[in-house]
Amino acid sequence: MLILVVNCGSSSVKYKLMDMKEEKALLSGLAERIGLPGSRIKHKKNDGKELQLEQDLPDHKAALEKIIECITDKEYGAVNDISEIAAVGHRVVHGGEKFNKAVLINEELIDTLESLYELAPLHNPPNVLGIKTCQELMPHAPQVGVFDTAFHQTIPDYAFNYALPYEYYEKYGIRKYGFHGTSHKYVSGRAAAILGKPLTDLKVIVCHLGNGSSITAVKNGQSVDTTMGFTPLAGLPMGTRSGDIDPAIVPFLMEKENLSPEEVSNIMNKKSGVLGVSGISSDFRDLENAQAEGNKRAELALNMFIYHVKKWIGAFSAAMGGLDVVVFTGGIGENAIDLRAKVLADMSYLGIEVDSDRNNVRGKEAIITKEGCSTVAMVVPTNEELMIAKETQALVIK
Ligand code: ADP
């Protein structure tokens, strides 16, 4: 069975065609700068053949039409006809409280998704646009929505509620939702498989550390808490996002700097995090290089990030009453060897001791703690597309 996985952003479409027999991608690509000057498509087949199209893409429909041309191309494609694609799985950022699992899309569901726009104004509208456009261009294929928030719907009320007047939860749905759910679910499942133990018997902490970072406590296979919140701004400091700060700083800054709500939100989402602290870059490779050259603010930004990851591992171990596995994933988690070692330093109280040879690994599954540790640490590269394709397949086959 062939499943197309689609991730529509406001000006981009990422796609991957998955062969579910092999659980492998046949091709993948990215259409970017949609509706802007300089739009293009980067397309790659798994045999290494690459295509770079400088192409006018006025809207998402034009982008998806061109993507379908690439997928069915004799040289760069993987199918003769688009009808060979059995189903399309869409990444949808926000499922609110309405969706605790993936769903087969119908007209009624589109209305429900549209009712969630307020919760994710930047992400959900392009996601829904992608679904509608694929319905139009591939009417034969069932469309499935897979939500970033769904995995976290098992978080208990005492962990997802904010200590605000309760009416705001009732009126506006203000609560913790959590994000990166597809990644946390996939990675915790892989961790159990690597250990050869049932996930339902394990206490797992997944550290998804990338441009956006979040940590999730997965107890007996269910998300019981996560660091992101009402929006993906909460929790850890990130590339450009502040993560948790004292909420009183917001009105203070608005008054002092004469900022509108939009301006202050822009500062916290785009100008903060390790970029804001270092003044150099949001990319951890740049920060590590700057630190090596003696840049103190790069060092501070990295130390802050490491400290917060460490703190959440402790907090979630307490929340779960113990810890069996801590897993690193995402661009930073999979690649930043030194950072992982620093996060896990002085954790023998949790039964963790890093093996520096084993930890000398990038981008592949590996256990990085010493033999015999009571708590295992590991690296598991995330594969959100495979997870989306699997959930899509499960709904289509039923
Ligand atoms: P996204 O959240 O956009 O999916 P990724 O998970 O791909 O992002 O993570 C991207 C980040 O991973 C980069 O910004 C960079 O900071 C970090 N990264 C990638 N490779 C390395 C590396 N070798 N060492 C340290 N950090 C790295």
In a domain, 154, yes or no: no
Query: Do both 124 and 237 map to the same domain?
Result: no
For the chain, percent of residues with pLDDT exceeding 70: 100
* Residue 353 buriedness (CB in 10 A; 0-12 / 13-18 / 19+): middle
Mutate to test the pocket of ligand 1, among 241, 274, 329, 335 (most ligand atoms within 8 A of CB): 335
Q: Is the CB of 363 under 6 A from ligand 1?
A: no
In a domain, 118, yes or no: yes
* pLDDT classification of 121: cutoffs 50, 70, 90: confident
Q: Which of 147, 164, 188 is the last residue of a domain?
A: 147
Q: For 250-299, how does the pLDDT look when each residue is reduced to its tens digit (9 = 90+)?
A: 999 999 999 999 999 999 999 999 999 999 999 999 999 999 999 999 99
Query: Do both 241 and 355 map to the same domain?
Result: yes
Residue 398 has pLDDT above 90, yes or no: no
Q: Could you tell me whether strands 325-329 and 376-379 are parallel, antiparallel, or unpaired per DSSP bridges?
A: parallel
Give the pLDDT score at 10.
87
What DSSP character marks residue 200?
A: G
Ligand 1 atom index nearest CA of 208: 6
Distance CA 53, CA 386 (A): 26
In a domain, 169, yes or no: no
Residues written for the chain: 398
In a domain, 276, yes or no: yes
Strand partners, 45: 27
Query: Do both 224 and 294 map to the same domain?
Result: yes
Write out the DSSP string of 108-171: HHHHHHHTTGGGSTTTHHHHHHHHHHHHHH-TTS-EEEEETTGGGGGS-HHHH--SS-HHHHHH
Q: Identify the H or E element spanning 85.
A: strand 85-92
Q: Ligand 1 centre and the CA of 136: distance in Å?
A: 35
Distance CA 215, CA 377 (A): 14
Query: Do both 132 and 226 map to the same domain?
Result: no
Q: For 157-193, how does the pLDDT look when each residue is reduced to its tens digit (9 = 90+)?
A: 999 999 999 999 999 999 999 999 999 999 999 999 9
Ligand 1 atom index nearest CA of 337: 24
In a domain, 152, yes or no: no
Give the pLDDT score at 118.
86
For the chain, give the mean pLDDT.
96
Query: Do both 141 and 75 map to the same domain?
Result: yes
Give the range of the structural domain holding residue 339, as residue numbers without chain letter. 196-379
In a domain, 371, yes or no: yes
Structure tokens at 128: 């829904």
Distance CA 281, CA 242 (A): 14
Query: Do both 108 and 209 map to the same domain?
Result: no
In a domain, 252, yes or no: yes
Q: Ligand 1 centre and the CA of 309: distance in Å?
A: 16
Query: Do both 16 and 133 map to the same domain?
Result: yes
Q: Which one, of 267, 266, 262, 209, lies nearest residue 238 by Cα?
A: 209
Q: Which one, of 26, 83, 85, 17, lies nearest residue 396 by Cα?
A: 85
Q: Is the CB of 284 under 6 A from ligand 1?
A: yes
Catalytic pick from 47, 148, 338, 346? 148
* Cβ atoms of residues 298 and 280 within 8 Å: yes
Query: Do both 123 and 234 map to the same domain?
Result: no
- Helices 181-195 and 384-397 meet at what angle, rounded to 10? 90
Identity (one letter) of the amino acid at 109? L
Structure tokens at 167: 């009416």
Q: Is the CB of 336 under 6 A from ligand 1?
A: yes
The total number of structural domains that make up the chain:
2
Nearest residue (CA) to ligand 1, atom 24 = 336
Task: Look up tokens 């199209």; give the residue.
Answer: 53
Query: Do both 210 and 114 map to the same domain?
Result: no
Q: For 49-72, how does the pLDDT look when each residue is reduced to its tens digit (9 = 90+)?
A: 999 999 999 999 999 999 999 999
Give the global pTM.
0.95
Query: Do both 331 and 253 map to the same domain?
Result: yes
3-state secondary structure of 301: helix
What DSSP character marks residue 370?
A: P
Q: Ligand 1 centre and the CA of 286: distance in Å?
A: 11
81 is catalytic: no
Residue 122 has pLDDT above 90, yes or no: no
Ligand 1 atom index nearest CA of 209: 6
Q: Is the CB of 182 under 6 A from ligand 1?
A: no
Q: What is the number of alpha carbons within 13 Å of residue 371 lying toward its C-beta?
A: 0
Give the pLDDT score at 133.
95
Q: Ligand 1 centre and the CA of 119: distance in Å?
A: 27
Q: What is the number of alpha carbons within 13 Å of residue 20 lying toward its C-beta?
A: 21
Query: Do both 200 and 139 map to the same domain?
Result: no
In a domain, 68, yes or no: yes
Give backbone dihedrals phi and psi of 17, rounded to 5 degrees, phi first: -100, 120
Q: Which of 132, 147, 162 is the last residue of a domain?
A: 147
Query: Do both 75 and 221 map to the same domain?
Result: no
- CATH number of the domain residue 239 falls in: 3.30.420.40
Angle, CA 239 vertex, CA 342 and CA 387 arms, to 5°: 85
Give backbone dihedrals phi and psi of 293, rounded to 5 degrees, phi first: -90, 5
Distance CA 367, CA 389 (A): 26
Nearest residue (CA) to ligand 1, atom 13 = 283
Task: Look up tokens 């330093």; give the residue.
Answer: 345
